[in-house]
Structure 1
Amino acid sequence: MAAPSYTHRVSPRARRLTLKVESSGEVIVVTPRFTPKWLINQFVEKQAAWISHQLEKLTQQQPGQTESILLFGQAYSLKLVYSDQAPIGVTIVDKEVRLNPVEPAGSAAWTKAQFQQLHRFLKQTARAYIEPRSSQLSQLMQIEYQQIRYKQQKSRWGSCSSYGNLNFNWRLVHCPPEVIDYVIIHELAHRKQMNHSSRFWELVAHYSPDYRLHRGWLKRHGRFFV
């Protein structure tokens, strides 16, 4: 069996080679630094059957032609629409998120390419909100930052690096705007307080008085998105 394509990520904390298949169908190999390419390829080749099985399970689990999705806390119908008249890609019409895929009509199950197409749209939509809003809130709080980066993390909605970069989970796009604002404020506050001290929470509360409600929303609903 031929080795599947994969994304290689280096982690200074990694002690061995690990493999995972994301919900998007992306195959990711995490390795320690200086791991030779031939060893990575050999590792992936040995796991080819397992990877194929995981990708098949993903396809079976994908929604049919009509499902629902949350965008900024609002429910939208998610629909595959095969049309020569509509543009290829994702569009929002009323309360529907419509995906007109590149591939011709086929099975009702979503393909890996279609799922990736939807994820690209969600990432772009997240960026379109988070970036201008971060700029607005940083001016309001009079706190500067360097860059904004996006990740898909299992346990974090955001983080702030010692270099002043703000990292956000692009799946915030599913959350209500006030919850996203809380996460942005939380990370901006870390530019002043790199801890969770009482001063930190006082700063957060000043700009997000209902932050406890927003944290509660993430705890109740967030596990469905990550």
Structure 2
Amino acid sequence: MTRANTTPKPHSGPVRACPAKRRPPFDAAGAAAAAAARLPRPMPVAVRENARAKNVVLRLIPGQGLVVTTPVGLPPARLAEAVGARSAWIAATWDRLAAEGSPPQPGAIAARPGKIVLTAFDRQWEVAYAARDRDGCLLTARGPQSLLVSGAVDDMAAVAGALTTFCRDRGGELLKEALARVSRETGLSYAGATIRAQRTRWGSCTARGRISLNFTLAFLPWELCRLVLVHELCHTRELNHSARFWALVEEHVPGCRALDAKLASARHYLPGWLAAAD
């Protein structure tokens, strides 16, 4: 019986590579419209893709609106579903902001700030802008309470990036000083501290007692910032959220449970321009 020859014959013609499929450009306006259709209240919506994002993150910002950060390539339908699933939280937060006199207003999501305020430490800087023919933005200090952002100042992402770097550096210094001070006050020691830009956590603590703090804590009222510092310091004794852990937190922060409930929705204290740096 003869056997068929299955050896491929040489090909003398040119080999053409299959063109790679390109992902269509991100339609921010369409994604925002799809998300807005699932909201319990009419409000301004901005949607931004972020290559580092693993989940959809929602921020309701006083005086501004709903800022949605989404992973790259997430279909608009799934984004809208994620927003719809948080409709109860959005409605409750909207109503609370309205009661406090600061409901989101249209057209202000990406405004350049005239002032940077690190509320926890009662520090603030006036911010001025100067357009220059260059890529990106450069931030320089013009005095102890004055900053100048120069460069592509009409590019909100570039502006926000420069301001974020400043706040991370300056806020990080203040947070490390505050952590050391609270450690002495409470008698709770730690092995070291780092400053990060965490997306879902205000802070964390390792089994070896190293504490990581989110630089955005500096934008919160001091009582909430201090609660996080104590919380993470208590994890150096109890690396869990057991009854013993909360009893330890209560020793140093009376009424900690009520404060912790406020902390769960404290992202409304973060300035709106932060979202533009995502």
Category of TM-score, reference length = shorter chain: 0.5 to 0.7
Contact between 2:139 and 2:163, CA under 8 Å: does it hold in 1? no
Question: Which residue of structure 2 aligns with residue 171 of structure 1?
Answer: 216
Aligned to 2:249: 204
TM-aligned CA deviation for residue 68 of structure 1: 6.6
Per-residue Cα deviation, 1:164-213 (whole angstroms, up to 9, x for no partner): 11011111111011211110100110111111122111111111113234
Is 1:150 equivalent to 2:150 in the alignment? no
**Cα deviation 1:136-163 (Å, max 9, x = unaligned):** 2212222221121122222211111012
Distance 1:76 1:65 in 2: 15
Question: Could you say if the C-alpha distance between residues 29 and 125 of structure 1 is closer, same or farther in structure 2, counting changes exceeding 3 Å?
Answer: same
Question: Residues 216 and 75 of structure 1: is their aligned pair in 2 closer, same or farther, counting only changes over 3 Å?
Answer: farther
User: Partner residue of 1:128?
Assistant: 173
Code of the residue aligned with 2:251 in structure 1: it is H
Is 1:137 aligned to 2:137, yes or no? no
Contact 1:157 1:169 (C-alpha < 8 Å) held by counterparts: yes
Q: Is the 8 A contact 1:71 1:174 kept in 2?
A: yes
CA contact (8 A) 1:90 1:118 kept: no
Q: How does 1:70-219 map to 2 (within 5 A)?
A: 71-72=118-119, 79-82=127-130, 88-89=139-140, 99-103=147-151, 107=154, 109-112=155-158, 114-219=159-264
| TM-score, L = length of structure 1 | 0.59
Change (3 A) 1:190 1:88: closer
1:1-37 per-residue CA deviation (whole Å, 9 max, x = no partner) reads xxxxxxxxxxxxxxxxxxx954xxxx5499xxxxxxx
Q: From the CA coordinates, give the structure whose radius of gyration is larger.
A: 2
Counterpart contact for 2:219–2:269, Cα < 8 Å: no
Contact 2:139 2:162 in 1 (8 A): no
Hey, what's the Cα distance between the residues in 1 that align with 2:157 and 2:240?
43
Aligned amino acid, residue 81 of structure 1: Y
Partners of 2:164 and 2:183 in 1: how far apart?
28
- Residue-pair matches, total: 168
Q: Secondary structure at the match of 2:151?
A: coil
Contact 1:125 1:173 in 2 (8 A): no
Q: Offset of 1:66 from its aligned partner?
A: 4.5
- One-letter amino acid of the structure 2 residue matched with residue 129 of structure 1: L
Structure 2's unaligned 5+ residue stretches are 1-47, 55-71, 74-106, 133-137
Identity fraction in percent: 20
Over 3 Å counting, the alpha-carbon distance change for 1:224 and 1:137 in structure 2 is closer
Deviations 1:69-113 (A, max 9, x none): 6522679797542299xx95256887xxx6522316x63x5242x
Structure-2-length-normalised TM-score:
0.49
Q: How large is the RMSD of aligned CA atoms in angstroms?
A: 3.7
CA distance in 1, matches of 2:189, 2:269: 32
Higher relative contact order (CA 8 A, sep 6+): 2
Listed as ranges, the matches of 1:45-84 within 5 Å are: 63-66=110-113, 71-72=118-119, 79-82=127-130
Q: Give structure 1 stretches of 5+ with no counterpart.
A: 1-19, 31-48, 51-59
Q: How has the CA–CA distance of structure 1 residues 91 and 147 changed in structure 2, closer, same or farther, with 3 Å as cutoff?
A: farther
